Structure 1
Amino acid sequence: MTTTLCRTVVLISGSGTNLQALIDGAARQELPIDLVGVISNRPGVAGIERAQKADIPAEVIDHTQFESREAFDEVLREAIQAYAPDLVVLAGYMRIMTPALVGAFAGKMLNIHPSLLPKYPGLHTHRRALENQDTHHGSSVHLVTEELDGGPVIAQSVIKIDADDTEVTLADKTKKAEHTLYPEVVKWFANGQLSFVQGTVILDGRSLASPIQLTEDIDIA
């Protein structure tokens, strides 16, 4: 275990509710992290306001101002590295990353995806779960690799799909569960409990054979 705060940069594209969960956890001293920077690829999003309210350095690098994905990711890489992070957290960051950017932070970049991976990589996960009449849904925290939503899965929140669930209600329940799941995995990394060796997840000194599953009973009323 470590007593040094883990320097953490968060990438966002929108409202930043998972960012807020990290801000709150750090403020309660439940997470041994130092949120040193927040970067959004979109201007005017609520996540930037959340960071500013918490006195976290925040900046916007608007991807629409770049002629290519490679050019944007190069500037983003430099911006992230300027914070000298121990951990990079993707919290609703809606951009596909180039191999060069992923490689620059190999083994210390996490993402959360709203499905029980390997089910439903990509978009519209809640709709696809309902269309396939799944009984359970959830989110997965995984190591970011060059494969979209394909890195080793560390932990998942599992929620029950009710008969009256819609795409909206299922999205709400999934998001609420994420606010518990993501800080927990970040805490494992910050504490030195979680590491990656040649793409294998190591938790508490042991290779993780399957993702840790946290079952959530979510009430959105």
Structure 2
Amino acid sequence: MSKPRTPARAVVLVSGSGTNLQALIDASADESYGLQIVAVGADRDGIEGLARADRAGIPTFVKQVKHFADRDAWDTSLRRAVEGFEPDLVVLAGFMKLVSPAFLERFLTVNTHPALSPSFPGMHGPADALAYGVKVTGATLFVVDAGVDTGAIIDQVVVRVEPDDDVETLHERIKVAERAMLVDNVGRIAREGISVTGRDVRFGA
């Protein structure tokens, strides 16, 4: 990605409460952050993430898999909806669907994972880390590829596992650190641009 226009245009995709989305909305209210969220898309209707976008005056759209003949048709419709907003960046903020290689070829797409990749990929990163007995875990921001939490790493943040942690307390601390990392790095991507060569990710055009 070369240095984007100013402000950079982002589409954020959500599936739930949208706390990461809200953090990005709040950050982008400051012009110096360099990002405009031009749309919020979802794979479910009636979720708080969409309500957050509505309250912020951001256009929204919903693409539910069940409304399409198959996943390919859904993905094509999602891709076209995103294309209509001409984004420089797509942020998956708790979006619980995999997108196709065709989608990823079209848009620079980033996501977070609540573990230190490549450890503990998948849906249960905090629980898996706790069960394994690690002393530190954390969160990873990465460029989405065709795998599950396998993309080139943009940044990571470490969270220490406390002796009395359960999955809920650990995950909550990870989410706080993850949110701050996401906001910091999306702002840098918006202002500076980013280049990805293999697994090497660097800021700047």
TM-score by length of 2: 0.93
In 2: Cα distance, 1:197 partner to 1:125 partner? 27
In 2: Cα distance, 1:73 partner to 1:23 partner? 25
Aligned to 1:79: 81
Structure possessing the higher relative contact order (Cα contacts under 8 Å, 6 or more residues apart): 2
CA contact (8 A) 2:152 2:198 kept: no
Q: Which amino acid aligns with 2:25?
A: I
TM-align CA RMSD: 1.6
Higher fraction of helix: 2
CA contact (8 A) 1:121 1:149 kept: yes
- Listed one character per residue, the Cα deviations across residues 36-84 of structure 1 (whole Å, up to 9, x for unaligned) are 0000001111000000001000111112222311111000000000000
Aligned to 1:219: none
Aligned to 2:172: 172
CA contact (8 A) 1:98 1:146 kept: yes
1:38 equivalent in alignment to 2:72: no
Q: Which amino acid aligns with 1:41?
A: D
Q: Which amino acid aligns with 2:148?
A: L
Aligned to 2:72: 70
In 1: Cα distance, 2:197 partner to 2:190 partner? 16
Aligned to 1:98: 100
Q: Can you give the 5+ residue segments of structure 1 that lack an aligned partner in the other structure?
A: 206-221
In 2: Cα distance, 1:177 partner to 1:29 partner? 23
Q: Which amino acid aligns with 2:100?
A: T
Aligned to 2:184: 184
- Listed one character per residue, the Cα deviations across residues 2-24 of structure 1 (whole Å, up to 9, x for unaligned) are 77100000011111110001001
1:138 equivalent in alignment to 2:134: no
Q: Secondary structure at the residue paired with 1:191?
A: helix
Q: Which amino acid aligns with 1:139?
A: A
Q: CA deviation at 1:28?
A: 3.1
- Identical positions, percent: 37
Q: Secondary structure at the residue paired with 1:171?
A: helix
Aligned residues: 203
Q: Which amino acid aligns with 2:146?
A: E
In 2: Cα distance, 1:89 partner to 1:2 partner? 15
Q: Can you give the 5+ residue segments of structure 2 that lack an aligned partner in the other structure?
A: none
TM-score by length of 1: 0.87
Superposition pairs of residues 1-221 of structure 1, within 5 angstroms:
4-105=6-107, 108-204=108-204
Q: Which amino acid aligns with 1:4?
A: T
In 2: Cα distance, 1:136 partner to 1:168 partner? 16
CA contact (8 A) 1:189 1:195 kept: no
